[in-house]
Structure 1
Amino acid sequence: MGKSYGKWIVTALALDPVHVGAGGGRIGRVDLTIVRDPATRVPKIPGSSLAGVYRTYVAMAEQEANPNRQVNGQPKPYYPDCAGLGLDQERGHCRRPDCPVCTVFGFARGAGQEGGFAGLAAFTDAHVLLFPVPTRRGPRWVTSPMALRALGLDVDGPSDQAVYLEEGGDFLNLGWLLLPIKVVSGDQKKAFEELKKPERGLPGYIRDRLALVDDRLFQHIVNSNLEVRTSVSIDPATGAAQEKALFSYEALPRGTVLVWEVIAKNPMFFTIGGKKIELRGGTSQGAQGPGQVWEVVQKAHPYLEHLGIGGMGTRGMGRVRVLHAASTQSPQAVGPAQSSGQGENQP
């Protein structure tokens, strides 16, 4: 039956500041804050935000590849019909077992209607792997043991009173914080060497400027060096700033490196409406199953680089370039336990 699922770890570089809002205004120095992890308080991009843009961009890609698609003799475009919420019975999701958008990302049928499908792809939250910070030696890309664990890299706990670099020195400022310098060694050095491998796709200006700090310091360094912008609405009658329309918002700065996981289920274990799911193609090695789902998912990556993610897209924010996507080993299937009945569930 093949593997029950596959997992891919994706790393990406923010080409612009990225703003995924927490929703509503806040009392504080910034009106519109971004989403943070409730435990670490480090900003993140929720998996729901990733899933939404991935679905939209895959629908765009499929529409460009198949602009004249028809279902039951009627035009049924992938975009916008199979993107978005899609509850409209005429212009909503097609819900077909051969639709790469509906099968991979799922669909609902609306209130009072039975059936639905949770989708074959799942997305974790995107966490900060490397964060750019200004120093007197130029920008440094800071990471921490907690951030590195997202890549499966375990390092010895660094001191919470130092910054670890590949070169020596006395002190280095990370933003407003001045810390003594220590040289990386052991697992710390191995982690840096792993990050600097060419296949990981990090630009040279990042590979040569890595820094490591304690998890506690990482939280403070990130939150103290977010980009904060101020905007104001323009009165169309006067062409000047509109009164009481000033607001501020924060974002992850350009150059932030993010990491997230994509988990792809094996379509052989699921059915839609009693029919087997039929996804075209496979991986470059000809593998079927989870590799077919991943091939659909990664069609969104070029669109992330040009159309972006999050809010404030018209204000120069959101573009993200995928640098590297690596498959990890997944367990073997235990049998088609999740076939027809369990495959048709509400997302």
Structure 2
Amino acid sequence: MSGLKVYSIASDPIYIGTGGYTIGRVDNTIVRDPITRIPKIPGSSFAGTMRFYSALELQSAFKEEYRKDPHSRKEKDINELFDRPEKWITYSGNKWSLMKCAGQDEDPNEYYEDFEKINTPVSGHCGHCIVCKTFGYSKNNKSQQGIAFFSDLNIIFFPVYTRKGVMWITSKQLLEFARIILRDIELPQGEQVFVITNEESNKGENTINLGWLNLPYITKNYQIANELPNEFSYIKDQILNKIVLVPDDLISHIINSNLEVRTSVSIDPLTGASKQGALFTSEAIPRGTIFYGDIRLMERPVSNDMPGLSLVKEMIKDASRYYESFGIGGMVTRGFGRMKVFIDGEKDNGNLDNGGGSENEQQS
């Protein structure tokens, strides 16, 4: 088992709804952790969009002439089908793939034991390409669990308006979830918070507003940048000297009190004015929020029809760039959902390619 660490920063507010209406401050609520009540991006949303973006990246690599007739791909050498340099693109099973491999299977009851006679355009998931192998597929007489397992994307730094400008709040618990350990620093107690800085510390106590909450704070001279992973290189510049460490029992209250809330209305197409009774409010995770998660990759027995984990990692890294343009979650046409995603490998248990690979991959 090996994996990938995922860090992301929201470029737009992110809305992933619970699928219903509530009576209260907002009508459309977002997904929260059932224990901490802190908003999150569910692993199912992350995995579903990653599958779509992986298939989109794969299909964009096909030459136009072969995209029109997928069956002609079998008659050519696999390396002639693509005009892109990425190795994962040339995985042999990709000659069966279509954009249908990105979504829900359109024909899950189809029999397709005969590899050479599969009718790819009407089969739903092809079951052979790197997308199907990575994320899984299921047919009437043949199914396979995916290689990749996606965790939720949890908040580790949350932006809040203060008199000192935007500050990013966090807590010991949130940092430990992201494997960031604060060493040689005491933790805030009660309602007190710490403003972390690498400048000269201010021993005096003062107050800082975190949204509508006014709390006492102490400035702590602590080199927190040394504890942050290398993937934070882009993010470090934005949050350095703007981190506020709050007690674990306050973090949920502060986050939920500072979510973005928007009021929207439907427009009557005949009058051009707002439609009667169509006013609703939605909450969202604000832009600038920083998340952490991981993708675990399972090694499979050596087989020529399974992509090696190195190719899977390469595909996921390439596909992650689409989050900057197309985003995640709902209401993306209203300016929600975009985020920057940074993916990097962590220490692996053994050789990445022990899980098998195609003949083309082994030669490359």
Same fold judged by TM-score > 0.5?
A: yes
TM-score of the two chains, using structure 1 as the length reference: 0.82
Select 2:212's aligned residue among 169, 176, 181. 176
Shift of the alpha carbon at 1:29? 1.0
Runs of 4+ in 1 over 6 A off after TM superposition: 74-77
Select 1:26's aligned residue among 22, 26, 29. 22
Select 1:105's aligned residue among 118, 128, 135. 135
Select 2:305's aligned residue among 277, 283, 287. 277
Q: Is the 8 A contact 2:193 2:215 kept in 1?
A: yes
Select 2:104's aligned residue among 85, 94, 112. 85
Q: Is the 8 A contact 1:141 1:210 kept in 2?
A: yes
Higher helix fraction: Structure 1 or Structure 2?
Answer: 2
Q: Is the 8 A contact 2:180 2:228 kept in 1?
A: no
Q: Residue in 1 aligned with 2:279?
A: 246
Q: Residue in 1 aligned with 2:6?
A: 10
Q: Residue in 1 aligned with 2:162?
A: 135
Distance in 1 between the 2:244 and 2:260 partners? 20
Select 1:40's aligned residue among 30, 36, 39. 36
Structure 1 gaps, min length 5: 280-288, 340-347
Distance in 1 between the 2:238 and 2:350 partners? 40
Which letter maps to 1:31? D
Which letter maps to 2:22? R
Identity over aligned pairs, percent: 40
Q: Residue in 1 aligned with 2:257?
A: 224
- Whether 2:173 is the aligned partner of 1:146: answer yes
Please list the CA deviations of residues 15-45 of structure 1 after superposition, one character each: whole Å capped at 9, or x if unmatched: 0000010111111111110000000000001
Q: Is the 8 A contact 1:153 1:191 kept in 2?
A: no
Q: Residue in 2 aligned with 1:120?
A: 147
- Whether 2:189 is the aligned partner of 1:162: answer no
Distance in 1 between the 2:96 and 2:280 partners? 39
- Whether 2:346 is the aligned partner of 1:328: answer yes
Residue 161 of structure 1 aligns to a residue whose secondary structure is coil
Structure 2 gaps, min length 5: 75-94, 111-121, 357-364
Q: Is the 8 A contact 1:19 1:312 kept in 2?
A: yes
TM-score of the two chains, using structure 2 as the length reference: 0.78
Q: Greater CA radius of gyration, 1 or 2? A: 2
Which letter maps to 1:277? D
Distance in 2 between the 1:119 and 1:71 partners? 24
Shift of the alpha carbon at 1:179? 1.4
Distance in 2 between the 1:190 and 1:326 partners? 23
Shift of the alpha carbon at 1:218? 0.8
The structure, 1 or 2, with the larger RCO (C-alpha pairs under 8 Å, 6+ apart) is 1
Q: Is the 8 A contact 1:163 1:182 kept in 2?
A: yes
Shift of the alpha carbon at 1:203? 5.1
Q: Is the 8 A contact 1:60 1:78 kept in 2?
A: no
Which letter maps to 2:293? W
Cα 1:57–1:36 shift into 2, 3 Å: same
Distance in 2 between the 1:27 and 1:118 partners? 40
Q: Residue in 1 aligned with 2:270?
A: 237
Please list the CA deviations of residues 192-233 of structure 1 after superposition, one character each: whole Å capped at 9, or x if unmatched: 432386853215232231111111111011000000001111
Q: Is the 8 A contact 1:36 1:44 kept in 2?
A: yes
